[in-house]
Every structure is written in C-alpha cells, then in structure tokens.
Structure 1
Amino acid sequence: MRALLGEEPLFGFVDADSPFAGYLFEHGFDHQCLRRGWRDGVDAFSRTADIRRFLIDAYAEFDPDRRKALLRELFLQTGDWTHYEELRTLCSDEQWAEVVTTLEAEFEESYVRRLTDLYLREGRTEEVFETVIDAARNEPDDAFWRTAGDSGLTILSEYRADVSAHDPRTYFEVYKEHLEPFLAETTGRKHYRTVIEYLEEMRELGFEEEFEAFVVRLKEKHSNRPAFLDEIEELDVEGG
C-alpha cells in the first residue's frame, strides 16, 4: 500500500498503512484519484491564507491554472506583494497583461494605495503620478486613507520620492493647496511639527522663492500662534 501512495501519505492526512487507505484502494480509488479528491476537498475550504498557501504548492504539477488563481486570491486576501511577484514568474507575457488588467479593475474603485503600488511595480510612472494627484485632490475613497484621516498630504508624502520628478511643479502646487488648510485645522506643537515636516518635503521640490513667499504668508496669517512661529523658525526662511 505504501508503495502505491508514496512515502508522503496523502500530505500527512491519511496513513498509507491505515484500514481507511486499504478500503479506498479496494473500492477502486487509485493514487491520483485519492490525491485529486483530497485537493478538491481542501480547496472547498481554502479561504484561510495558510490553506491557500498549502494548496498553491499542492497544485504545482496537478493544476497550474488553479495554482495561479489561488496565488491571485492569496495576494488579494493578504496584500503581500511576494505573492504578486511569484504569480508573475508563472505567467506568460500575455497572461500577465491580463492579470494586471484584472487587478487594476479590482483596485481602482476603492483601493487607491494598492492601485498606486501596482502601477509602481509595473513601471507606469505617469499613472502613479495621476493617481496620487487625483487621490490628494479628492475625497479619499480608499478605506486605508479614510482610516488614516488623510488630508491629501499623506499620499503626497508617501509617493513623493517615487513620482514627484515627473511633474514637480504640479506636486509643489498640490502640497501648497493642502498645507494651508491642514495647518488651520488644529493647534499644538505636535501638529505644527507635522506641518514643518510637510513643508520640508515641499521645499525639496525646488521653487525656493515661491516656497519662501508661501512660508512668509503662513507666518503672517497665523501670527497669533506663538508655538507655530517658534517651530517654523527651523526652516530658516529669508524675509520671514
């Protein structure tokens, strides 16, 4: 019996020398049939990440298409980009283009962050830029950004190093659009230090004269906030 089942007894669930295994073989269930039935049975309960990972390996030779489908599902479930990259290695160029298209459709409605990261991984800089700017200028429809209480500055900051060089002028202007109302939202040194961090990022985009004029305007408009005036001194802006 063990010679028929192999040294690994049905992935550890059925002992090759058990009465159950003998019964199955007596009733015409051969080695491949048993394994197929076992995989299909576990597949029906494959919602957990661990079982999906297990099945992905089990399907490697048995059903390559199902293996790819499970990898896609596992990526969507966990957000772990290692599964995305593993799936890429299993696909032809044509298959991969189709996968990316379906993921794009999956993310564009409510997963802005994942959509942006997808574009980054695919080297689609213009789409990354447009997605970031659109997300910053509009009410966030992504659960992640809503939970973070995003003001538009969060996503600008996160992707600045990746795409601001695509159009630094627009990036600078969108920072400016958001920083003034963000500053006005509340008070306190912690808030002001966050404002300074965003201003420092904005400054790195260039346009020094415009940046300094903007900082001077902020200082004049909020001259009744001594803590803010104290914190902003570290920017060392001339004429301020």
Structure 2
Amino acid sequence: LDSLIVTQVQDASNPDDNSNAYAVTSVSTREGFFVDTGATNSTTAQLILAYQQQVQSIIKPPQFVFLTHGHPDHAGGIALIQRTYSSTPIYVVSQQVAKETMQWIDFSCEHSIFSGAQCNLDYASILRVLTSPQSQLSFSHPSIKLRAINDLVKGDSSYAGLLELTTPSGIPFLFTGDSIVIQSHLFVSNFFENQTPPGSDNALCEWAGYMQASGCEFRSNRRFIILPGHGPVSHANRYTQDIALNIDWIRALRRLTFNSCNISYVWSQMIRQ
C-alpha cells in the first residue's frame, strides 16, 4: 500500500501465544522499522528475516524499533535485535514504559522465563525514551507521517504507547500494542503498582470503555487500519464487531475474577446476562 509493506509476525511454534510483531518496509527506499519484538527468539528471527528479504540486505539495520509496552511477549526479542543490529535504537514513549519494561524483564529473568542472553543486557541504556513523540521518529519513505501516542489507560499494562502511521495517500495505520486488541488477550493488571491484580473492576472498566470510545473515532474515518498487539488486523468497517468480541471476553473474565463493579454505562452493557 503506497509502496509500503507491513508484515505481521507471530510464533508459529507457539499458537497459544498470538502476540504480534510487525516489520514495516519501504519498497522505494529499502528501509524499514519494527513495532515490538516478539515473544520468543523464533518470532524475532522471523521478523528479522522478513525485514531482510524486503530491504534486500542482511546488514542494513532497521531505522528504529518502537516498543509499545513492556510485557515479555512483546519485549522478548530485544536481545536478538541488539545482537543483530546493535546500532538500531529501541524507543518507548515514556519513562514509565521503560521502567515497566525493565520490571517485567527482571521478573522474567528471576523466574527463568528469559534466557541468559536475554537477561545479560543493560536495558536501562538500551531503551530510549522519546522526548518528542510526535516528531522524533523518522522513516525514509516519501511523505510518510509517524506519530507516537502516549497511552495512559491502565487496562492491560500500566503504561503504553501507540504508533500512528499515515501514508502519502492519507490512509492511517494504528499500531495499538495491547491497548486495543482484537478477539484476544493475555494480561489484565497493573501488576507492578499493586503486586497483585487490581482489587476492583477499575482497570477492566477503563479498558473496556477506552476500546468502546475508540470506535467513535474509527467510525468517523472508515479508512483506518488497526494493527493490534494480539489478534488479526482490523479495519474500521468491522472494528466495532471486533471490539464487541473482546468486551465479551472481558465480561467473562470479570465474572470469574471480580465481585464488585463501578456503576456506569459501560458496565451496564458488560454485565448483562
């Protein structure tokens, strides 16, 4: 689309973990970047291979990596990308995202989820916080616009970022990480702020309400393409249905997990029997 190739990568050897990573490349300039890094080295290797095939080089580094949030299923490939492309900057949208990423990495290392190679890195120096999220990212492709968005909704992770890409013909792509997911999800907590999943429904209320409200914006721009952190790519014309499926999932989770609820329009929809 507009001489861009967007490749969604998942770990084929682990179908139960459908975390997405993306390679974005320009057909005209043979440059590219990554959004998230994958859960496992096999995912990251697929991501790197797709990128190398599209830019027709095994040595040309991606221009940057944008990490949407710090969960290990999205940050697990940082070590392999660093070994392969040591000069490629890895950006997060805020200091809070960087902190939460390092907390999850420490957790993954302490519980032997990550390998020694994944743990033996100075993530504090590797993760770079964007100082101008709306203008700092650059991509060598004619007339492409990139904008990082600081997302403060605490439903999935405590802090996160979204990346908006607008093509020369005006078609907007939105890489949502886990702030907006399609028909699927894994985490619901602000774990490192409370050490346990939240004791009330607030996180689920905010998350569901945020996803529902986002549908208003996408309905006003039918060309939007949503590239989520979990699940298939979605378009604005079916986004409302995709989000309804996700909120059904949250409703089921709420029945299993919580026994109280804030009274709101969102919950009146979510707890209906």
Larger radius of gyration: 1
Larger helix proportion, structure 1 or 2?
1
Q: Compute the TM-score of the two structures, normalised by the length of structure 1.
A: 0.31
Q: Which has the higher contact order (CA 8 A, sep 6+)?
A: 2
Of Structure 1 and Structure 2, the greater strand share is in: 2
